[in-house]
Structure 1
Amino acid sequence: MSKPTVLVHGFLDTGYTPWWSLLRRNLRREGYDEDDIYTVNAERVPGLTVGSPRDYAEKVGAVVERAYDDGGEVDVIAHSMGGLKTRWYAEEMGGAGYIDSLVTLSTPHQGTETTRLALFTKGARDMLPSSKFLKQLNVDGLAEGVDYTAVWSRNDYAVRPNGRGSFPDEWTERYDARNLRAGPYGHLEMVARRSVFDTYSGFLGA
């Protein structure tokens, strides 16, 4: 049996959109059982996931803990704001013990200026580099016991300036964490592209 793996979508998205089907296909091609792939859905309709990552962290935790009960320590693959939801659960809500590895795809760990286009939403405000949410999340760094991989791209139109989807260099020295630069892919391609998957798949369950 393959290892339980949880997929976490980001801002405006759901787990039902086509790019997630492509990621699940990539996992199955690597030998994962469909029953071991779990999906977090913060909302059921695309366009409605606009709340704070903090508000969605409990939903992430519910799925992670269910996957853990079914098969032990969990790998998480999270896109965009989904990485912040998962980090909040792991680092602020005591969820790190359920997670073996966390791979984030285009997650604005250091904030992104593009969310100024949607400041009428709490989620966008919390992803600004200067937000109270990010300051609280980042003040203590990453959780011990979790293997972190941040995958980012210079062509990501949604995470700006370049490099904000990576961890600070001092974190990769202090924690079990790494930054991986993917090819010239846009924000949603980071979920769907097989070549991106191949970049990080070796760190699942590391």
Structure 2
Amino acid sequence: MRSARWILTAVAALTSVTALAAPPATAAPADPDPVIFVHGWNGGAWNWNDMVSDFKAAGYADDRLIAWDYDHTQSNKTTAEELSTLVGETLAATGAEKVDIITHSMGGLNSRWYLKFLGGTAKVDDWVSIGGPNHGTEVAGLCFDTSCEEMRVGSEFLGRLNEGDETPDGTNYGTWWSTCDGVINPADSTVVDGASNTRTGCINHLALLTDDGVSQQVRDFVA
């Protein structure tokens, strides 16, 4: 059986056909919230190189952009606790009142746990899930980390995360998803009740991170 790592590599190699145009860069607000970028399973801070560059080109200062690394194999609950610490440190260092959180894939799960169960809605202005398995993905059956078990459709973790209100008050929620994702199955698993949910053109899972149209739409959302 081919490994999940192989599947992710194969998906990355697919040709991305984008239906979103790439309009001129949107300028950053005068005093933007710090932005924390949270990668997914088997990812890293490097996943965000293109999008961080786009934010810088739009006028964001370096100290307002944090591409975060964490242990993707551990429980998303543990990662949520670490994210809580990072948010506190970021607010203290910048003097900002709130941060924005932009996530890819599994990053949507640990960050939502932080928002829902660890008081994150009081500290997060805007939350973004790009290609997130918010209601599970069948692909997670091919990997066996604790985090993968939590991403499986019908997992206890997802049951608790999605029970009741999926978008607790205090934070603005936005998702971006594609029917050509290839890793999130079903593709509309990303859609969150109460969020602004955007279906993109035919873009694969990793290409969602480098698509100019998605990048600008995300910048506009958190501005």
Distance 1:193 1:27 in 2: 13
- CA contact under 8 A between 1:3 and 1:32: conserved in structure 2? no
Q: Residue 35 of structure 2 corresponds to which residue in structure 1?
A: 5
State the aligned residue count. 190
Q: Residue 35 of structure 1 corresponds to which residue in structure 2?
A: 63
State the one-letter code of the partner of 1:5: V
Q: Residue 48 of structure 2 corresponds to which residue in structure 1?
A: 20
* Paired residues for 1:94-173 under 5 Å: 94-118=119-143, 120-141=144-165, 142-167=167-192, 171-172=193-194
Give unmatched runs, 5+ long, in structure 1.
44-48
Note the aligned Cα RMSD (angstroms).
1.3
State which of 181, 191, 203 in structure 1 corresponds to 2:221: 203
Distance 2:128 2:74 in 1: 22
Tell me the CA shift for residue 150 of structure 1. Answer: 0.9
Q: Residue 74 of structure 1 corresponds to which residue in structure 2?
A: 99
Select the structure of larger CA radius of gyration.
Answer: 2
SS of alignment partner, residue 163 of structure 1: helix
- CA contact under 8 A between 1:183 and 1:196: conserved in structure 2? no
Q: Residue 56 of structure 1 corresponds to which residue in structure 2?
A: 79
Post-superposition, which runs of at least 4 consecutive aligned residues in structure 1 deviate over 6 A?
none
Distance 1:183 1:7 in 2: 22
Tell me the CA shift for residue 140 of structure 1. Answer: 2.5
Distance 1:53 1:157 in 2: 22
Q: Which has the higher contact order (CA 8 A, sep 6+)?
A: 2
Give unmatched runs, 5+ long, in structure 2.
1-30
- CA contact under 8 A between 1:11 and 1:81: conserved in structure 2? yes
Q: Residue 18 of structure 2 corresponds to which residue in structure 1?
A: none
Distance 2:164 2:87 in 1: 22
| Comparing 125-134 and 51-60, the one that deviates more | 51-60
State the one-letter code of the partner of 1:57: A
SS of alignment partner, residue 102 of structure 1: strand
Q: Residue 194 of structure 1 corresponds to which residue in structure 2?
A: 212
Distance 2:169 2:35 in 1: 20
TM-score between both structures, scaled by the size of structure 1: 0.87
Tell me the CA shift for residue 75 of structure 1. Answer: 0.7
For residues 124-162 of structure 1, the C-alpha deviation after alignment (integer angstroms, 9 at most, x for no partner) is: 110111100000011032221100001111111110012
